[in-house]
Chain A
């Protein structure tokens, strides 16, 4: 009987997470369509608040998908860290290097070495 009770909780939890994911997606879409000027104009670390919101909501969704749907919360600490930490650190490094390099090349192109319109 105890088993059945925990089963009911699991199903309830799945639907609860689905609601969380849906709400996050709806917020993203609404913000993407309206694009509030305040959030576009104000920047934090050279990126607009709107884009920060999108990225934070995405990571929030990714966390719930991985932890609940993929049952990462139920795995051992070793498995969890070997998968999650590897991804997080490598991806952060990759983004850091590539985005800064892309911005640098943009500055070089803008600096007049290449004519923009011809």
Chain B
């Protein structure tokens, strides 16, 4: 199959690969490959660093199924990974439409290129929206937890082993009102306060015998250790210092703070790549519409932006495996 179409009006010149190109690829396409190579190394450094931290805290790392179990319009339904799987399909499919656009470009069929590139753009935008939704859920949190003096997370269960939210435990909220410019000092901004104070949680926990505490440490079967009722009360009263709702870069209700940090950093960096990919594709798409490549007689630019787009998909395949599955 003839993959390379080198007709950019630069044949024989440096930009076109010179008189006798040893790699038989145009300068632009070759440089896109080498850019992808360097970017792949950056991403693998992030993922390997994730692996490093995970091995370091292998006996207390959060379980991804429990964290990413939301699906649009299915509130309270445990849907582990369905949504990420859907996102993966959207991205793979937009990769397919991109390669169809490249193929149509080889045939110099402008209409088809426009159609397939539009689908690709749509896929990219839907993926970005999905990722934003995923971030929203992660930041907001579901159940809430408390943090100990040592920075460990304690989560709440009932005796059936189901997770219990802070709002179910606390009998009342004695949390003070956050100060803003009109109620506090005008130049000091109050921090975001959790809905409940740690005393509310301690009182509510003591009042109901059905509640237990789960610590991060994983037992032999790979599940977080559940404490007995007596141990739970003792641990909560002696160690718990702070209520944690959702996630930020310092702490999160799911477990180790590094888990949240890597989530924000890796999926954020990938999301940024998708955003750039959408923008590059948009520029190329507009050029296709204007007939730039039709006049040039070569759609190689579609092929180059396609390379980048496939790379973004390729990275997601790895992020999906190492962040959500393994």
Contacts and interface: CB of A to CB of B under 8 A. Distances in A.
A90 B100 CA distance: 32
10 contacts: A11-B103, A14-B96, A71-B1, A75-B24, A76-B22, A83-B37, A95-B48, A98-B48, A101-B52, A106-B59
B23 interface: yes
A48 to B, nearest CB: 9
A117 to B, nearest CB: 6
A25 B88 contact: yes
Interface stretch (B189-197, B291-299, B313-321): B313-321
Contacts of B45: 94
A11 B107 CA distance: 12
Contacts of A40: 222
B19 to A, nearest CB: 16
A117 B314 contact: no
Interface residues of A, number: 57
B41 interface: yes
Given A62-B317, A62-B318, A25 B92 contact: yes
Contacts of B235: 117
Contacts of B23: 75-76, 78-79
A32 B81 contact: yes
Interface string B1-43: 1111000000000000000001111000010011011001100
A43 to B, nearest CB: 13
B92 A118 contact: no
A112 interface: no
A78 B24 CA distance: 9
B92 A21 contact: yes
A106 B56 contact: yes
A47 to B, nearest CB: 9
Given A11-B103, A61-B317, A117-B239, A79 B30 contact: yes
Interface in B248-280: none
Interface stretch (B148-156, B158-166, B180-188): B148-156
Nearest to A66: B314
B80 A118 contact: no
B326 interface: yes
Given A40-B222, A74-B1, A83-B36, A54 B321 contact: yes
**Most chain A beta-carbon neighbours within 10 Å: one of B55, B65, B215:** B55
A32 B96 contact: no
Nearest to A86: B37
Nearest to B152: A117
Given A10-B103, A28-B325, A117-B217, 17 more contacts: A7-B106, A32-B324, A61-B317, A62-B318, A65-B310, A66-B314, A69-B313, A70-B307, A90-B41, A90-B44, A98-B48, A98-B49, A102-B54, A102-B56, A103-B55, A103-B56, A103-B58
